[in-house]
Structure formats: C-alpha cells, structure tokens
Amino acid sequence: MEKLQKTLDEIKYLVAKFTATGKCKKIKIMEVCGTHTMSIARYGLAQLLPPEIDLISGPGCPVCVTPSKEIDNIIGIIRKYKLTVFTFGDIIKVPGTFSSLSAEKMSGAEIRICYSPSDSIIFAEQNPGKKVMFIAIGFETTIPLTSVIIKDALKKKLKNFFVFSTHRIIPPALDALLSDKNVQVNGLLLPGHVSAIIGLEPYGFITSKYNIPAVISGFGPDDILISIKMILEQLASGRPVIENSYTGVVKNDGNPYAFSMINDVFAPVDSEWRGLGIIPLSGMALKDKYSVFDARKSFPVKVSSLPEPAGCECGEILKGIKTPTGCKLFAVSCRPDNPVGPCMVSSEGTCAAYFKYLRRK
C-alpha cells in the first residue's frame, strides 16, 4: 500500500496541475482489456483515485463483444451437423437469442471445454470418424495459437477438423471507438498481452489521428496506477505518445514470429461487434489456402435470431458510454446466476466485475 500511496500522491499532483489548466474537469481513462477491468475492481483502484479521474471499461472482453447472432449461428451449426465442439469455458454460458452452448450441452450436444486449442486437433486426429469444430475466440493474444493448429491440420491433411473463427483484432475497434463523437476518452490503458504479440506500432494512429495518450500496462495494482500516472504526465505535457510500462513482457516489436503466423493464416474482414456495429477489417477469417478448415464455409446454416433482450445496455457499456450501475437490469434482473447480457456472463465482463466487487464508480 505504501508503494501504491506514493504513486497515488503523484497522480493527485498531476491531476491538480492538469485540471488547473482549465482544459477539462474530468479525465476519462479507458481500460481496453477485461483483465485490467477485473484488477481495477478487485483492488478498488477507481475509489482510490482522485474524483476527477473516471475509469471506464472498453471493448476488451472477446466474449462480450461477440454479437448474439454469432452465438445463434454456432448453435445452428451444432444442431444441424452434430459435431464434436471444443471451446474455451468463457463462451459457453453466453446467451444467444434462443439458447446458449451450455444449454445445448445439457440437451446432449458434444461440447467440450478445452484448456488449449491443441486439445481439439489432438482429438480430431485420434477420432477420424468424428467431425471436430474448434470455436476460436479471442484477440491477438489467442489468434497465433489458432494459426498454429490450422497450419498443423494442413500439414497432417486432416479431413475432420474445422475452425469457427470469431477472432477479432483490437486496433480497428479502438479506431472506431475513438472516432465516435459520443465517446469521450482522454487516455487509454492498452492491453498487456495483446501488445506482447503486436508490439507498439499498430497503435500509432491513437496519437497521430486522435492525439490521445496511450500506455501499455501490466496487470498488478501498482502496474495500473503507474500507467495511469504516465497517461497524466502525457496529458500535462501535451505530447501524447504510445508508451510501454509493461517492459518485462512487451517488446517494442511484440512477437514478430507469432504476428507473422496470424498473417499467414488469417485475413482481416469486416466484422460486427456488440455495441460498436460493423467495424471495417476488424474480424479475422481463414485465408483461401486454409478454407477447407473454415467451419463457416463447410457448414452453411440459416438461423433466425430473436430480438435482443429489452433493456440490456451491454452495447453502451462496451463503448464506455454507460457504466453497469447505469443499466436498469444491473443486479436486479441481470445477475451472475441469471445473466441477461454477456458483460455479466464473462468472468472478465464489466458488469460481472462491478457486481462481484461492488464497484460503484
């Protein structure tokens, strides 16, 4: 706490200095990554900061930004083609508009939660009579893993292995968010492990186009406070740059080999994000040379989605326009045991974090 207090004192000094310039009364800092959201809530960091600083959560939880229609589509495929499905635990409770993967599993669908994407390809190899689909979800941290198994599937000439890609990438989403006039952000805390892959360069537009400070941060409470301090220093100096405070893990050029694996297997396509709409070139689809493994092409379905639940504010929350406490359903009809929207389902969802740690600010 002593260490935190020193950083907090420096933050208070910088806030006073910045607000004295009269440029703005409130300083809004968006944390882009769901793990940061959790950490901020766990340690009550929002409450420790001066009242002039508002921490707002962004679109950094892959499960939360996946539209219900996409879940519907996956369920449609599973019902029609009777596949063995592998995926990460976080997505299975997310409601589509008429079911969820966990409900399908309860009614007998073969859905397995995996620790590593490799589990799916090993199972496919050992069970040539079964059609296996891996539901690939995640940002740049996870996309290289999916790339490795798809390249492996090609090498092994697997005929029973498929990938349903819901992969999305972060920079185009930040670009779309910052260009939205309703979104007011003075600084960005950039995700640590996405940056471990992509490095600093892809974020260049944040300063060149929007003139906003941005700092790549680690996940401990002191890491986050130091990164906030660095954002304030940039605001005070009026010279925003992309900085990295997670230097023990994030290299300036990221992991170029992993980045090249992504670009070998996937190509960016327009993709819809919950709350943010269609963002150009923000989704990742399998390139033509790997299209035999593309579940979207191999298993066509027509699915009629139902309307989204009334009153759910996940979309506005993912843009940082509303906080969970501003949603009428929050903690009333939408609770972790009976979630209405994905931000309450995912362990890294903003609503789940607010609920669990009674975060009020």
Partner 1 sequence: MCLAIPARVIKINKNIAEIESLGVKKKIDISLLPEVKAGDFVIVHAGFAIQIIDSSEALITEGYWKEYFAETGDEYEEMFIAEYPEKDDVQ
Residue in this structure with the two tokens 């969970």, named with its chain if needed: 324
Regarding 53 and contact with partner 1 (CB under 8 A), the answer is no
**Residue placing its CB nearer to partner 1 in the complex, 17 or 42:** 42
- Count residues contacting partner 1 (CB under 8 A)? 46
Exposed / middle / buried, residue 229 (Cβ in 10 Å: 0-12, 13-18, 19+) = buried
Residue in this structure with the two tokens 């740690």, named with its chain if needed: 357
Q: Which residues pair with 163 in a beta bridge?
A: 134, 294
Residue type, 28: K
**Residue placing its CB nearer to partner 1 in the complex, 39 or 186:** 39
Q: Which residues pair with 28 in a beta bridge?
A: 54
Both structure tokens of 66 = 């996946």
Q: Which segment (77-85, 233-241, 245-253, 280-288) binds partner 1 by CB under 8 A?
A: 245-253
Give the contacts of 254 (CB within 8 A, at least 6 positions apart). 195, 196, 197, 198, 199, 200
Q: How far is CA 314 from CA 61, 114, 201, 311, 319, in A?
A: 12, 27, 30, 9, 9
| φ, ψ dihedrals at 329, nearest 5° | -80, -20
Regarding 341 and contact with partner 1 (CB under 8 A), the answer is no
Residue 140, classed as helix, strand or coil, is: coil
Q: CB 155 → partner 1: shortest distance, Å?
A: 12
**Residue placing its CB nearer to partner 1 in the complex, 220 or 277:** 220
Regarding 300 and contact with partner 1 (CB under 8 A), the answer is no
Q: Which segment (67-75, 230-238, 252-260, 317-325) binds partner 1 by CB under 8 A?
A: 252-260
Regarding 197 and contact with partner 1 (CB under 8 A), the answer is yes
**Residue placing its CB nearer to partner 1 in the complex, 71 or 232:** 71
Regarding 35 and contact with partner 1 (CB under 8 A), the answer is yes
Q: Which of 128, 120, 168, 196 is closest to 278 using CA atoms?
A: 168
Give the contacts of 65 (CB within 8 A, at least 6 positions apart). 59, 168, 173, 273, 274, 275, 276, 318
Q: Looking at 56, 133, 261, 318, which residue binds partner 1 (CB under 8 A)? A: 261
**Residue placing its CB nearer to partner 1 in the complex, 91 or 235:** 91
Q: Which segment (98-106, 138-146, 202-210, 285-293) binds partner 1 by CB under 8 A?
A: 138-146
Regarding 76 and contact with partner 1 (CB under 8 A), the answer is no
Q: CB 258 → partner 1: shortest distance, Å?
A: 4
**CA distance linking residue 73 with residue 303, whole number of Å:** 6
Regarding 269 and contact with partner 1 (CB under 8 A), the answer is no
**CA distance linking residue 325 with residue 359, whole number of Å:** 9
Q: Looking at 128, 220, 238, 326, which residue binds partner 1 (CB under 8 A)? A: 220
Q: Looking at 249, 269, 306, 332, which residue binds partner 1 (CB under 8 A)? A: 249
Q: Which segment (6-14, 141-149, 176-184, 200-208) binds partner 1 by CB under 8 A?
A: 141-149
Q: Which of 350, 343, 357 is closest to 63 using CA atoms?
A: 343
* DSSP 8-state secondary structure symbol assigned to residue 43: T
| φ, ψ dihedrals at 193, nearest 5° | -90, -20
**Residue placing its CB nearer to partner 1 in the complex, 141 or 350:** 141
Regarding 61 and contact with partner 1 (CB under 8 A), the answer is yes
Residue type, 239: R
Regarding 193 and contact with partner 1 (CB under 8 A), the answer is yes
Residues binding partner 1 (CB under 8 A): 33-35, 38-39, 42, 61-63, 88-90, 113, 115-119, 137-139, 141-142, 144-145, 148, 191-194, 196-197, 218-220, 248-251, 255, 257-258, 261, 346-348
